[in-house]
Amino acid sequence: MTDIASLSPYSSATVRSNAERHTLSVLVDNEPGVLARVVGLFSGRGYNIESLTVAEVAHAEHWSRITIVTTGSPEAIEQISHQLERIVPIHKVTDLTLHGRSIERDLALIKVAGKGENRIEAQRLAQAFNAKIVDTTLESFIFELSGKPEKIDDFVELVRPLGLVELARTGIAALSRGPVAS
């Protein structure tokens, strides 16, 4: 069977090799349905979402910030930004990856159950990673860990054989460095 994507008349579909990972920071009017508009745009136009976070950031102004991590060719990412800008209740779209260095943080809650040596090892690793213990029983911990997503990935891989039960992650929140708004 022929690869249908390679037959597409659109260049973006054929340019897969130069895919980049970008973090977009989207300031929106916090009105009903605004998240659905953003998510619907991504599904409708076939863009990827690797991570998405949303929360109100200015109560009086009624603003929320949506942080989206997506992958695509530079042309596709530019197109995503412009498509987002077309959505009426969107104030501003910033490509933090183009903006230079930015701070990215992910928060995870990680439940590990085990006894004896495994339990002690899990606790040692948590200390090394600066993870907080936020719940404990005689045979389990829940660790809270925040940091770059890669750091959380590393921690999760290390505790997996020690009795990883489940985990929850917030997805990435991000801001540009320096004194001014991105």
Contacts of 49 (CB under 8 A, 6+ apart): 39, 42, 68, 69, 70
Cα separation, 167 vs 60, in Å, equals: 34
Q: Which is nearer to another protein, 11 or 127 (CB)?
A: 11
Q: Which is nearer to another protein, 78 or 121 (CB)?
A: 78
Site residues for another protein per CB under 8 A = 2, 4, 7, 9-11, 29, 32-33, 36-37, 40, 44, 75, 78-79, 82-83, 85-86, 88-91
Q: Which is nearer to another protein, 44 or 116 (CB)?
A: 44
Shortest Å distance, C-beta 29 to another protein:
6
Contacts of 172 (CB under 8 A, 6+ apart): 23, 51, 53, 67, 69, 104, 105, 106, 149
Q: Which residue has the tokens 């863009």?
A: 47
Cα separation, 84 vs 44, in Å, equals: 12
Q: Which is nearer to another protein, 8 or 136 (CB)?
A: 8
Shortest Å distance, C-beta 22 to another protein:
16
Q: Which is nearer to another protein, 81 or 123 (CB)?
A: 81
Shortest Å distance, C-beta 148 to another protein:
31
| Sheet of strand 51-58: strand arrangement | 51-58, 63-72, 20-29, 90-95
Shortest Å distance, C-beta 143 to another protein:
39
Shortest Å distance, C-beta 28 to another protein:
8
